Structure 1
């Protein structure tokens, strides 16, 4: 029995990741910091409610939530010249250190009595400036440590850690807020990022962080978007991701109103929608590693198609059970799409250019969903909640079908056959989703 269990573990697609001499030292740090971020999802908004003037709480809660994520998109563009030549582990550790310092300053300011809502939002914004580069460093490090075949599993491990944290983090944050206030959760979050920074500093030997090109060539003086713009495969994939996340954004506005106004259902129904989405995301993240034999481009486009179809019951006013199943299916498909699209960028970009490219990819992901959420307000006012959900579903479905139609015909090179883009990329003759 023990021998069969050992064989099953070692034959898992995740074994090369968790047994890797470098990655196995880093994964505990990412687990701790992801849990802290999952807890902070609740605390960031709650502390804004406590600090903001009563008449402007809605505005300040929105600003606090945006400040914790959106500056990372600006940092991806504005800091390109400064950061593009750094090694991946240093990018990730600098992001973790900045988060630890800026978030740690919040409980310190609170203790000394100087924490205002404006200072709070400013510290949240400072904490996220390097986040796109930190994400780029993390996934570049995975690409440099793992051969091509296990990279999808490596990306999926991080996705599993993040998905699990979004479920367990808020559950842990609630009693901590009751005991010590929301500021105590942010103090814990700061400690978790300190742990991650130390893990990256101590767990990555200098030689393990090198690109095959280190010592032979420096990172080309170009931005990640410049690389993507000159490669239609990468540009198509970036546009697909941006469109997918943008069109899903209005769901966060329309779904609560659909449950409350159209279904006249209690808040427990809304909680069930989000809980099933989270449970599906955890299951999808665990499943992703087993999809490594599938062609990445067609599968990513297919995921977008199925996600749009799965949202249709919500927009068509189907029975609640059917809508719940569809929403859980979207959650199941979300991590495979993110991991597969990241793997496509890893496969299609040279090591010297990968941090710049992945920083832009991270920036687009950071921007797309919040922008779609902002557009959801006017959409709900114009069409109503249910029709807004239908527009999102149909838009995602159409986007996925268009991406699938743009894939190279069968018999042409796939994403597994292509060589990475050259340091001075030239426009290819075929498009790729």
Structure 2
């Protein structure tokens, strides 16, 4: 007899898993806190900074809240490589909770300066790549391969929902109590998440002890030796980097080209977020699609849906196209993480994912930095067109390489996995092809 919804849903094995279902509420609460923090971090920087230097301090605060994770990947590589997924994610949550909680404490003590604020934000982000790696490693540890993509998609959907609900909620709370207390709430959500990891999941630390003591850059070495993983990393790096200038070009396009207000910019971003939420839900149903081709197809499709903005299409065309871009964008992290989970042994996965995250966390900021001079040189709309065309070209080039490697009879990662202890079985390698 065919199972009925919700048991027929690809998400049912994830939400009904006896251990994951205990963690998901904590992840949802923490994601909502982070969604609020995006606004609060900026607003507190505005409150603390001199009026003539607000732009610089906003940029520093936002960079401090994410970029130091790249440093943490290398600095703590030898200590954290080989730890279990729950332990890595839990330590990240503890550090974020403690560092963020120090901000309202310093505020109450009257010692919160701009310098201290940025330092505490940077400290909170040091283990972020390891924490993200821990979450996806936990999925690989607890679920069979066929459920990895729906589980990844569920994490993405939770984050997508938080990006829609969190900012307006933060706006209300900032108006009522101030940004420092929204950051305090974010710290409390991470404390709740850390407690969830500690109480809901067993300690499996002894499984991977043999991996410890390796090089701090072992994750980067694994990626470098595997052409398929290296190609995936380069694709993601290029994809995110080329999207970075959009954050600069979009506001200027709205104000200078369309002669509209910030309200229209908010509508565009809301449309993108709603599309992303739908795309995140759809991602779980792509588990029978060829993952590598799907991941490359997402890049091409996203670039194509950005073309109307760059070509100056009317609002009735460009706004739905931007929402469709959000829908197409959303499954990318789910499918790319599933490729890493399939191509890497559980013992190596945390270090590999942390290395991947450390590089990708720099991609969008670097692209955004490029956006300033690019918009200044050619204008906002041509910049949007350049990004769209470049992303399509990137996807087509990646597709060409994938086809040529397949034709040459060297499917990604099969030789490496055949000789890697604890790697995927022959059946799993065949499924990857």
Tell me what 2:367 maps to: 372
Alignment of 1:398-417 (within 5 A): 398-407=393-402, 408-409=405-406
Deviations 1:165-194 (A, max 9, x none): 000001211111111100010010000000
Between the aligned partners of 2:60 and 2:421, the Cα distance in structure 1 is: 40
Between the aligned partners of 1:180 and 1:263, the Cα distance in structure 2 is: 35
Q: Tell whether the 8 Å contact from 2:226 to 2:416 is kept in structure 1 after alignment.
A: no
Tell me what 2:136 maps to: 139
Deviations 1:278-316 (A, max 9, x none): 001100110000010000001100110011111111111
Structure 1 length normalisation: TM-score?
Answer: 0.93
Q: Tell whether the 8 Å contact from 1:99 to 1:193 is kept in structure 2 after alignment.
A: yes
Tell me what 1:278 maps to: 273
Alignment of 1:19-418 (within 5 A): 19-207=16-204, 211=207, 214=208, 217-219=210-212, 221-222=214-215, 223-407=218-402, 408-409=405-406
SS in 1 for 2:4: helix
Between the aligned partners of 2:378 and 2:279, the Cα distance in structure 1 is: 32
Q: Tell whether the 8 Å contact from 2:87 to 2:203 is kept in structure 1 after alignment.
A: no
Between the aligned partners of 2:134 and 2:399, the Cα distance in structure 1 is: 30
Answer 1 or 2: which has greater helix percent.
Answer: 2
Q: Tell whether the 8 Å contact from 1:295 to 1:414 is kept in structure 2 after alignment.
A: no
Between the aligned partners of 2:396 and 2:4, the Cα distance in structure 1 is: 40
Tell me what 1:15 maps to: 12
**Gap runs ≥5 in structure 1:** 426-431
Q: Tell whether the 8 Å contact from 1:219 to 1:352 is kept in structure 2 after alignment.
A: no
Between the aligned partners of 1:65 and 1:45, the Cα distance in structure 2 is: 7
**Gap runs ≥5 in structure 2:** 423-431
Q: Tell whether the 8 Å contact from 2:99 to 2:124 is kept in structure 1 after alignment.
A: yes
Deviation at 1:417, TM superposition (A): 7.9
Count of residue pairs the alignment pairs up: 420
> For the structure 1 residues 94 and 421, does the alpha-carbon distance in structure 2 shift closer, same or farther, using more than 3 Å as the test?
farther
Deviation at 1:82, TM superposition (A): 1.7
Deviations 1:67-113 (A, max 9, x none): 00110111112221121132221111111000000100000110111
Q: Tell whether the 8 Å contact from 1:219 to 1:353 is kept in structure 2 after alignment.
A: no
Between the aligned partners of 2:294 and 2:132, the Cα distance in structure 1 is: 23
> For the structure 1 residues 204 and 421, does the alpha-carbon distance in structure 2 shift closer, same or farther, using more than 3 Å as the test?
farther
Give RMSD over aligned pairs: 2.2
Deviations 1:206-242 (A, max 9, x none): 25x665xx47x43572411100000000000000000
SS in 2 for 1:10: coil
Q: Tell whether the 8 Å contact from 2:82 to 2:348 is kept in structure 1 after alignment.
A: no
